[in-house]
Amino acid sequence: MSLLFFYSLRNLLTRRLTTILTASGMALVVFVFASIIMLAEGLKKTLVETGSSNNVVTLRKSAETEVQSRIDRYQASILETLPEIALGEDGQRIFAKELLVLITMQKKHSDGIANVIIRGTGKHSLSLRPQVKLIKGRIPRRGTSEIIVGQSVAKRFKNTGLQQTLSFAMRSWNIVGIFDAGDTGFSSEIWGDADQLMQSFRRQTYSSIIFRLRNPDLLKELKTFISKDPRLTLSILREKDYYLKQSETMSTFLRILGISLTLIFSIGAVVGAMITMFAAVANRTAEIGTLRALGFQRKSILFAFLLESLILGFFGGCAGLLFASLLQLVTVSTMNFQTFSELAFSFSITPGIIIKSMTFSLFMGFAGGLLPAFRASRMNIVDSLREV
Amino acid sequence: MIFKILFRNAFRHKLRTFLTVCGMAVAILSFGLLRTVIDAWYIGVEASSETRLVTRNSISLIFRLPLSYRDTIRQIDGVETVSYGNWFGGYYIDQKDFFANFAVEPHSYLELYPEYVIPDGQKVKFTSDRKGCLVGKKLADRFGWNLGDTITLTGTIFPGKWDFILRGIYEGRNKNIDETLFFFHWNYLNESIKKLQSTLKDHVGFYIIGIENPYIAAETSEAVDESFKNSLAETLTETEKAFQLGFVAMSEAIIKAIQLISLVVIFIILIVVANTMGMSVRERIGEYAVFKTLGFRTRQISLLIIGESMVITVFGGITGIIMTFPAAMGFSMAVGRFFPVFNITWETMCLDLAVTVTVGLLAGIFPAYRAVTVRIAEGLRRIG
């Protein structure tokens, strides 16, 4: 058995150039396959991690995103009295009335502009999101025009450094801090004081209300309560689900693109593998005859050639994945179709993606090698020995 | 004579050649498809007119502008027509069936967009019915709407169920026009808003300005923005093209990635074809030695080899171009809601051909070099 394995391996090594070309063709396909799935995965991960399962997002009924939603002060104050809201260490309810608007900002490295989310926050906004950490400067004072910017925004947009000022809504806003929210969507936001921002933007209404539940299982009861109360025209969602929903359109698009591309590409790669393997069989007709004359069975011959193309697939897959995993260092920022705002996320690789890519690659090797291996095993001993 | 040899040589190894042609066709197909996806992205830019400006709130698109700006804009030099509208953002039955819907001032809007071709009778009916709506042909086909149907949209920005009566179906003047839009009367929206949230009434999302000629676009934009400086709602005016480009630029990262993938595709084909050609030449090195002995020149031998690889790639390329059409149809069905217009352009086809020829040349050059430089005696000794 091991003899055959080494036979296959050595064969690949003798025709080095062809092997490298075929394997690199496969590697490229695996690379494209893996990178697109990684992109969709990265987007999802960013948005899933943005939400937590203890927090609840309240929007106006039928609004899909915070940007579209409007909640008036009257309804907000009704919500604030709900007994299901958790209490913080200071004995106050962990409850934040937030405002969310998009502003257009200039990018740093190109002439492009993009929509950036600016979030008007309440007292408890930070404690609701433990993943948000200040890395430079200080927390803005309430009731002033001080703002803090997320790290991805600070990296990509003009005038977003510490102590600089941004001008929008006919006021200047001083940046007093830069925060990091890890891989979450908050890193692509700017935070300020909700009441100050509402005044400047001349808005009478909040966008969303976020609070922490005393116990995550209370959501169902709360939903029924809200739907029965005629004063409240609100819909309520677990924060995690809300952010997951925002990634739907984009990840669907990426997935369709990825799958259709790799389907087409894989045909090309299988064809390449087939050509290589057919040539290998043709070149070694006499060898096959010899092997058969020595008493190797048809099955073993079939196996040997199949193994050879599987090894090709394996190497291709490894190389492709290796390059794809380097992409984790790259951050992509693009407009999320659902919210119209810019979001930064990175390629993320998971064990599932590795398994998928490897399976895919081995399958390509298998599909490419099957016919040639079959042909090799069906050869007539006498005729093949006659071949020089 | 030489062509005969080329074809004979190319099809000497039927199976291998068939596979290579397949690989080539697949690669050209994917290259063409990717180009088409990118074109589809830019379709809004392509379809925009030189004589239209878009004015919106300078903070961002989600902020509105007072209706009173209409009269101020009208008095600016060079402005011919002013129309206005709101992005409505409603959906039909299911949130996932996205299509763009706008509330617009019907008379001036249709005057500004002559590329939406509507039968005359329908145009009058649409503009005179306050609850009437006008939809693109593709959209009507997608949901099976007929004239006179009542269509109910669910608002996301403006809550509630909104009833419309289908009064007109427009077609694009050419293939680049988006036929998946939904228009209705801005007045209908405004009056309903008055009941809901009076603070939002008499505000529009954007103004579309028709100007006399494209040369005054920059001055007019400046004049418009100047008029509303230091007001509560400052404006940002740009040509329609710039406005659409801004949208495209926001998803730049994905477009760049797709372009990169197209390059990778070309590279893959190159590898596959070069590999095949390398094999054929290796097998026939003895023959080339014979050719040399007979006195064939370097030029002729390399022509033989490069010609052969050209024959194979051109075959594959043409097959690929033909296959792009059904593939694009399928793709457009799968992602129709992202891309209203999905056409394969002449440019894409020409590029396909250019890539084909380049690959044919490059894949032939290296093996040709080997065949040419081999020593005759050595070539004759080799039995491939």
pLDDT per residue as tens digits for the range B355-374: 999 999 988 898 888 888 88
Contact B157 A18 (CB under 8 A): no
- Token pair of B193, please? 């808003």
Cβ–Cβ of B199/A257 closer than 8 Å?
no
User: What are the residues whose beta carbons fall under 8 Å from the beta carbon of A15, sequence distance 6 or more?
Assistant: A280, A283
Least confident of A80-84, A186-190, B192-196: B192-196
Residue range B162-184: mean pLDDT, rounded? 93
| pLDDT, tens only, B308-323 | 889 999 999 999 999 9
Q: Is B345 exposed, middle or buried (0-12, 13-18, 19+ CB in 10 A)?
A: middle
Report the residue from B20, B157, B268 with minimal CB separation from A28.
Answer: B268
Q: List C-alpha distances in Å: B237 to A105, B58, B224.
A: 15, 8, 7
B259 touches chain A (CB under 8 A): no
Find residue A178's DSSP bridge partners.
Answer: A136, A149
Instruction: Give backbone dihedrals phi and psi of A78, rounded to 5 degrees, phi first.
Output: -65, -45
Task: Quick: pLDDT tens for A7-41.
Answer: 888 888 887 877 887 888 888 888 888 988 898 88
Q: What is the pLDDT of residue B200?
A: 76
Mean pLDDT over each residue of chain A, to the nearest integer: 88
CA quadruple A217, A223, A226, A228: dihedral sign: negative
Dihedral sign computed on CA atoms, order B290, B293, B295, B301: positive
User: d(Cα A102, Cα A100) in Å, to the nearest integer?
Assistant: 7
Which residue reads 């406005």 in tokens?
A: B243
Is residue B166 within 8 Å of residue B149, measured between CB atoms? Answer: yes
pLDDT band at A388 (very low <50, low <70, confident <90, very high): low
- Taking contacts as CB-CB distances below 8 angstroms, the residues of chain A near B225 are none
Closest Cα partner for B302 from B364, B356, B362, B360?
Answer: B364
Asked whether B357 and B287 are in contact (CB, 8 A), the reply is no
Mutation target vs A (from B28, B93, B156, B231; most A CBs, 10 A cutoff) = B156
In whole angstroms, what separates CA A19 from the centre of its chain? 33
| Percent of chain B residues topping a pLDDT of 90 | 43
Q: Give the minimum alpha-carbon distance from B248 to chain A in angstroms, rounded to a whole number.
A: 9
* A288-329 confidence digits (pLDDT tens): 888 888 888 889 889 988 999 999 999 999 999 999 999 988
The encoded tokens of residue B232 equal 């509560």
A89 vs chain B: nearest CA distance in angstroms?
37
Q: For A332, name the nearest residue in chain B, comparing CA atoms only.
A: B253
Q: For residue B367, give the nearest of B310, B293, B325 by alpha carbon.
A: B310
Count other C-beta atoms under 10 Å from residue B331's C-beta: 20
Residue B214, min C-alpha distance to chain A (Å) = 23
Say yes or no for a CB contact (<8 Å) between B327 and A264: yes
> Please, are residues B85 and B261 in contact by the beta-carbon 8 Å criterion?
no
Read off the tokens for B345. 């352009």
A274 → closest Cβ in B19, B34, B247: B19
pLDDT at B384: 47
Residue A361 pLDDT > 70:
yes
Residues in chain A: 388
Instruction: For chain A, list the strands marked E by DSSP.
Output: 55-60, 95-106, 113-121, 133-137, 146-150, 165-168, 171-180, 189-193, 208-212, 234-238, 331-335, 342-346
The answer, yes or no, to whether residue B71 has pLDDT greater than 90, is yes
Scanning B238-297, the segments in alpha helix (DSSP H) are 240-250, 252-283, 285-293
Residue in chain B nearest A22 by alpha carbon? B272
Residue showing tokens 């007979």: B294
Place of tokens 């009924």: A61
How close A204 gets to chain B, by Cα (Å)? 9
- CA distance to partner chain B, nearest, from residue A139 (Å): 25
Q: Which of A286-295, A334-343, B14-23, B111-120 has the largest mean confidence? A: B111-120
Which residues does chain A have within 8 Å of residue B267's beta carbon, measured at their own beta carbons? 28
| pLDDT confidence of residue A212 | 94
Tokens encoding B107:
């008379």
Is the pLDDT at B382 greater than 70? The verdict is no
The CA-based diameter of chain B, rounded to the nearest angstrom, is 96
Work out the number of other CB atoms within 10 angstroms of the CB of residue A327: 18
Take residue B201 and report the two structure tokens written for it. Answer: 């009434």
Set of chain A residues whose Cβ sits within 8 Å of the Cβ of B61: 102, 104, 115, 340
Residue of A nearest to B252 (CA): A334
Residue B18 identity: F
Least CB-CB distance to B19: which of A101, A249, A275? A275
User: Which residues of chain B are within 8 Å of residue A120 when distances are taken between CB atoms?
Assistant: none
B209 CB-side CA count, 13 A: 33
- Find out whether B231 and B237 touch, Cβ atoms under 8 Å: no
Is residue A108 a contact partner of residue A141, using CB atoms and an 8 Å limit? no
Residue bearing tokens 């907000």: A76
- Whether A364 and A29 have beta carbons less than 8 Å apart is answered as yes
Q: For a pLDDT cut of 70, what percent of chain B falls above it?
A: 98
Asked if B27 has any chain A CB less than 8 Å from its own CB, the reply is yes
Q: Distance between CA atoms of A246 and A242, rounded to whole angstroms?
A: 7
Task: Identify which of B156, B261, B275 has the shortest CB distance to residue A261.
Answer: B261
| DSSP secondary structure code for residue A86 in this structure | P
Q: Which of A355, A225, A312 is nearest to A12 (CA)?
A: A312
Scanning every residue of chain B, which has its alpha carbon at the shortest distance from the alpha carbon of A334?
B251
**Is-contact A358 A305, C-beta < 8 A?**
no
Find the radius of gyration of the CA atoms of chain A.
Answer: 30
Residue B54 has pLDDT above 80, yes or no: yes
Question: Which residues in chain A touch residue B251, judged by CB atoms under 8 angstroms apart?
Answer: 334-335, 337
What is the longest distance spanned by two Cα atoms in chain A?
95
- What pLDDT was estimated at residue B37? 86
Answer whether B253 sits within 8 Å of A333, measured CB to CB: yes
The pLDDT value recorded for residue B159 is 85
Tally the C-alpha atoms within 13 A of residue A341's C-alpha that lie toward its C-beta: 25
Chain B residue nearest residue A110, CA to CA: B249
pLDDT for the residue B237: 94
- The H or E element that residue B208 is part of is strand B206-211
Q: Which of A204, A268, A334 sits opposite B268 (nearest CB)?
A: A268
CB atoms within 10 A of CB A232: 19
Structure tokens at A134: 């200040």
CB B54 within 8 A of CB A98: no
Distances (CA, A) of B269 to A265, A268, B324, B360: 10, 8, 16, 10
Of residues A90, A174, A100, the one with CA closest to residue A138: A174
Q: Which residue of A has its CA nearest to B236?
A: A104
Q: Which of B251, B268, B335 sits opposite A29 (nearest CB)?
A: B268
Most confident of A158-162, A190-194, A300-304: A190-194
Which residue of chain B has the CA closest to A113?
B246
A63, A271, A279 member nearest B22 (Cβ): A271
Beta strands in A203-273 (DSSP E): 208-212, 234-238
Burial B14-52 (b: 16+ CB within 10 A, else e): eebbbbbbbbbbbbbbbbbbbbbbbbbbebbbebbbebb
* Dihedral (Cα; A40, A43, A44, A47), 10-degree rounding: -170
Share of chain A above pLDDT 90, in %: 44
Instruction: With beta carbons less than 8 A apart as the criterion, state whether A378 and A298 touch.
Output: yes
State whether B19 and A103 contact (CB < 8 Å).
Answer: no
Q: Which residues of A touch B58 (CB under 8 A)?
A: 104
Q: Which of A44-53, A110-119, A125-134, A261-270 has the highest mean pLDDT?
A: A125-134
pLDDT (tens digit, 9 = 90+) per residue, B240-266?
998 888 888 877 778 888 888 888 877
Tens of pLDDT, residues B76-119: 999 999 999 999 989 998 877 788 999 999 999 999 999 999 99
Quick one: DSSP state of residue B97? S
As a whole number of Å, the end-to-end CA separation of chain B is 25
Alpha helices in B284-297 (DSSP H): 285-293
- Mean of pLDDT values over B284-295: 86
Strands A171-180 and A165-168: antiparallel
Residue B73 has pLDDT above 60, yes or no: yes
Whose tokens are 């300005």? That residue is: B209
Q: What is residue B383's predicted lDDT score, i.e. its pLDDT? A: 57
pTM of the model: 0.82
